[in-house]
Structure 1
Amino acid sequence: MASITLNHIDKTYDDGYHAISDVNLDIEDGEFVILVGPSGSGKSTLLRMIVGLEDITDGELLIGGRRVNEAAPKDRNLAMVFQNYALYPHLTVYENIAFPLRLVRDGKPSDEEIDRKVRDAARVLELTDHLERKPGNLSGGQRQRVAMGRAIVREADAFLFDEPLSNLDAKLRGQMRAEISQLQRRLATTSVYVTHDQTEAMTLGDRVAVLKKGVLQQVASPRELYEQPLNLFVAGFIGSPSMNFLPASLRSEGGRHVLSSPIGDIPIPEAKARAAAGRDLVLVGLRPEFFEDASLVDEDKKAAGSVFRASLTHLEWLGHEQYGYIEFQPDPEVAGVLADLAKDLDADEMRPVVVTTLSAESLARPGTPLDLWVDTSRLHLFDPESGENLTRDPEAGAELTRRAADERRRQIELATQRDAAPRA
């Protein structure tokens, strides 16, 4: 195991394209870090620079405290798990897993040692019954486990994953997410994982690094990214359905503070109003789950937010919940901001619509005015020009990431204890 440190890493191609700009990232020994961002954000380029498949234009890369900028991939002791598995179709599962061990020249392990390592990895990955089969006779999930087995037997300092689950169907991706997470905890191996999938990013990583056009935007636990995003881009990228953005202006009268928005007036607390004071326009960030049918909210909870009236244009009923949509007409200035944000997020457009998550019990109907409750204590306010989150609480965010780090250490300890316990 080893830590990975990126100090002011840059990547510029021969044609002048600046793919990575001044990235600084410290990955602790045993930590699971996710690199995420839209297409073209530089996440795969950064991973390939770590493994040595891309040259570093400027900056310093350390693995276990050792500078490796000029080191060949084979000298970095890193194990790569690719999207297409990269298995040898003519070899059995056993030989695919053993392959990197047979390539060792100095200090080559004995046949007995190779056999022990292969069978230990197969047991961990539940592949023992498949060791004599060929990859073509395995499911996608089994082939992925074989690729991981090959990484395990190398006893690498770190695992690097390049969108390893993108070829699997949704159900199998869910199973493999759980397996990768549990395996990483058991092995406590430093891992860097590239994905564009929201669920993978939010469920697998101890911390998530969000990239935009080669620039690192924020590195934090999934929960901190979700609850305390640094800027408009991170807020819009993290979460599905994504955060709603509404143009609004602050109006204060008689000690009451109201955000005038295209979907109605939204009363807000004093602390939020202070963030918007002196600004002609702000963007209000509201996650879909901040809303509810006001008739289903008890009085104690209702007091912690605000109620406003709106008409839903349509509803999507999902069984356990339903999505209600409110369309609005933004002014030209905000329309331009939303168009630029959509482009950054690799989306065709950012439609002027608010998505609300309502209880399945709600009897809301499209076209009929509805009283909606919104949790105003959790809304965010953004500067439409700089994208800065005006209401972010850095201390609360840092505490969420500290808790995630403590939980990682606890899970690794539990996994170690389970593996050390005598088997019945």
Structure 2
Amino acid sequence: MASIEMKNIVKKYGDGYPAVNDVSMDIADGEFMILVGPSGCGKSTLLRMIVGLEDISSGDMVIGGSRVNDKAPRDRNLSMVFQNYALYPHLSVFENIAFPLRLAKAPEDEVTRKVEAAAQVLELNEHLQRKPANLSGGQRQRVAMGRAIVRDADAFLFDEPLSNLDAKLRGQMRTEIARLQRRLGITTVYVTHDQTEAMTLGDRVCVLRKGVIQQVASPRELYEQPVNLFVAGFIGSPPMNFLPATVKGSSLETPFGTIELDAARAEKVAGRDLVLVGIRPEYFEDASLVDDAKKHVGSTFTAKVDVTEWLGDSQFAYIPYDAPAEVETKLKELSAELDADQLRTQAIVSIDSTSRIREGREAEFWLDARKIHVFDPESGENLTRDPEAGAELTRIAAEDRAEQVAQARGDA
């Protein structure tokens, strides 16, 4: 196992465009780090520079205390699991897992011992003599992971390993990868464009945008204290709502009425005119289901519902609103960068599944004003971010993770 340090890493191609631009980050020994972002953000390029499949234009890559810029991939002792599994169709599961040991000319008893131990961990014992063509997608993924395990590598590198699986199997494999990584305690770098994978798997998540790090933090800090509009829009499903608002003293005038700010938030937005208010869907509720004691800490408004989606355990309501032209332009630009559908001038509201709110009718909603974020529409900066609260969330997550790893190793 080893730590990975990146110091001012840059990758430029022939046209001079920096696919990765001045990335500096420390990944601790045993940490599960996620690299996430939309297509073209540089996450896979960065992973390939760690393993040695891409040259580094400038900067230093340090693994286990040694600079590896000039080392070939085979000399870095890293195991990479690819999107397409890269299995040999003519070899059995046993021989696919054993392949790196065969290359290293390991003794036969060592090959057998390590392959059988990996198969036990991955529940592949009954499939060792089968060929990849006779396996399910999830089983093939586990074979690829087994090949990584037997190498006794310093780190695992995953390049969108679940993107070829269906939704149900992706959920199962996420759980297996998380359990395996905790048990082995091996440093892991995992690339994905799926923010659900990022939020459920990582100790910390690095959000990339056009080759530049936006924020590195625990999933909960990213969600509750995003540093800017881009991170706030990328993390979360459904995404955060962005409403135009004008600042008037200690309040914000939005398409859904007035939102009163606490003293700390009011001070941070003082002197500004047009801002964007960030509100997570779950910060709304059906006002008829909110008790009176809770209503005084939020805002209540009436709006016409366009569409509702009932999902059994939850329900979403879509509420359109009017926005200034500059806000619509900003939302279009942001949705293009997020590689997502256009962020429409509508709010997505999460309401209780028992709510009787119906589409095409006006309804009363309650908004928890204590949890909103306010962004500068030009720079995208989160004006109301609390860095200390965010750092505390990441610290607590690190402590919880250390306990989980210790318990997993004790149970193994």
* TM-score (ref. length: structure 1): 0.96
Aligned to 1:366: 359
Match of 2:16, as an amino acid?
Answer: G
Aligned to 2:247: 250
* Alpha-carbon separation, structure 1, partners of 2:146 and 2:112: 13
Match of 2:21, as an amino acid?
Answer: S
Aligned to 2:75: 75
Q: Does the CA-based 8 Å contact 1:78-1:156 persist in structure 2?
A: yes
Aligned to 1:422: none
Q: Does the CA-based 8 Å contact 1:263-1:326 persist in structure 2?
A: no
Give the C-alpha shift of residue 304 in structure 1. 2.2
Give the C-alpha shift of residue 38 in structure 1. 0.3
State yes or no: 1:21 paired with 2:18: no
Aligned to 2:228: 231
Q: Secondary structure at the match of 2:247?
A: strand
Q: Which moved more, 1:44-53 or 1:323-332?
A: 323-332
Q: Does the CA-based 8 Å contact 1:264-1:310 persist in structure 2?
A: no
Structure 2: runs of 5 or more not aligned? none
* Alpha-carbon separation, structure 1, partners of 2:355 and 2:101: 60
Aligned to 2:237: 240
Give the C-alpha shift of residue 306 in structure 1. 1.6
Aligned to 1:385: 378
* Alpha-carbon separation, structure 2, partners of 1:86 and 1:244: 40
Match of 1:77, as an amino acid?
Answer: N
Aligned to 1:286: 279
Q: Secondary structure at the match of 1:385?
A: coil
The 5-angstrom pairing of residues 337-356 of structure 1 reads 337-356=330-349
Q: Secondary structure at the match of 1:259?
A: strand
Write out per-residue CA displacement over residues 390-416 of structure 1, whole angstroms, 9 at most, x where no aligned residue. Answer: 110101100111111111111111011
State yes or no: 1:52 paired with 2:52: yes
Give the C-alpha shift of residue 368 in structure 1. 2.3
Give the C-alpha shift of residue 346 in structure 1. 1.3
* Alpha-carbon separation, structure 1, partners of 2:338 and 2:274: 22
Of residues 287, 292, 296, the one that matches 1:299 is: 292
Structure 1: runs of 5 or more not aligned? 420-424
Q: Secondary structure at the match of 1:185?
A: helix
* Alpha-carbon separation, structure 2, partners of 1:121 and 1:348: 41
Give the C-alpha shift of residue 277 in structure 1. 1.1
Q: Secondary structure at the match of 1:161?
A: strand
The 5-angstrom pairing of residues 255-274 of structure 1 reads 257-274=250-267
Q: Does the CA-based 8 Å contact 2:258-2:299 persist in structure 1?
A: no
Give the C-alpha shift of residue 348 in structure 1. 4.5
Structure 1 runs (4+) greater than 3 angstroms displaced: none
Q: Which moved more, 1:274-283 or 1:211-220?
A: 274-283
Of residues 162, 165, 171, the one that matches 2:168 is: 171
Q: Does the CA-based 8 Å contact 1:266-1:308 persist in structure 2?
A: no
Match of 2:391, as an amino acid?
Answer: A
* Alpha-carbon separation, structure 2, partners of 1:30 and 1:158: 8
Write out per-residue CA displacement over residues 24-79 of structure 1, whole angstroms, 9 at most, x where no aligned residue. Answer: 11000000000000000000000000000000000000000100001000000000
* Alpha-carbon separation, structure 1, partners of 2:370 and 2:32: 32
The RMSD of aligned alpha carbons is 1.0
Aligned to 1:375: 368
Q: Secondary structure at the match of 2:335?
A: helix
Q: Does the CA-based 8 Å contact 2:241-2:347 persist in structure 1?
A: yes
Give the C-alpha shift of residue 263 in structure 1. 2.5
Aligned to 1:121: 118
Q: Which moved more, 1:159-168 or 1:293-302?
A: 293-302
* Alpha-carbon separation, structure 2, partners of 1:261 and 1:30: 46
Aligned to 2:390: 397
* Alpha-carbon separation, structure 2, partners of 1:249 and 1:239: 25
Match of 1:188, as an amino acid?
Answer: G
Match of 2:236, as an amino acid?
Answer: G
* Alpha-carbon separation, structure 2, partners of 1:361 and 1:416: 43
Give the C-alpha shift of residue 15 in structure 1. 2.0
Give the C-alpha shift of residue 349 in structure 1. 2.1
* Alpha-carbon separation, structure 2, partners of 1:12 and 1:179: 36
Match of 2:229, as an amino acid?
Answer: L
Match of 2:182, as an amino acid?
Answer: R
* Alpha-carbon separation, structure 1, partners of 2:351 and 2:306: 14
* Alpha-carbon separation, structure 1, partners of 2:78 and 2:296: 54
* Alpha-carbon separation, structure 2, partners of 1:343 and 1:169: 26
Give the C-alpha shift of residue 313 in structure 1. 1.2
Give the C-alpha shift of residue 92 in structure 1. 0.4
* Alpha-carbon separation, structure 1, partners of 2:360 and 2:167: 34
Give the C-alpha shift of residue 303 in structure 1. 2.3
Match of 1:12, as an amino acid?
Answer: K
Q: Which moved more, 1:73-82 or 1:344-353?
A: 344-353
* Alpha-carbon separation, structure 2, partners of 1:261 and 1:366: 22
* Alpha-carbon separation, structure 1, partners of 2:400 and 2:106: 36
Write out per-residue CA displacement over residues 286-336 of structure 1, whole angstroms, 9 at most, x where no aligned residue. Answer: 000000001101122222212112111111111111111111121111122
Give the C-alpha shift of residue 266 in structure 1. 2.4
Q: Does the CA-based 8 Å contact 1:275-1:381 persist in structure 2?
A: no
* Alpha-carbon separation, structure 2, partners of 1:77 and 1:301: 56
Match of 1:322, as an amino acid?
Answer: Q
* Alpha-carbon separation, structure 1, partners of 2:39 and 2:60: 25
Aligned to 2:40: 40
Give % identity: 66
Q: Secondary structure at the match of 2:60?
A: strand
Give the C-alpha shift of residue 95 in structure 1. 0.4
Q: Secondary structure at the match of 2:233?
A: helix
Q: Which moved more, 1:375-384 or 1:268-277?
A: 268-277
* Alpha-carbon separation, structure 2, partners of 1:63 and 1:286: 40
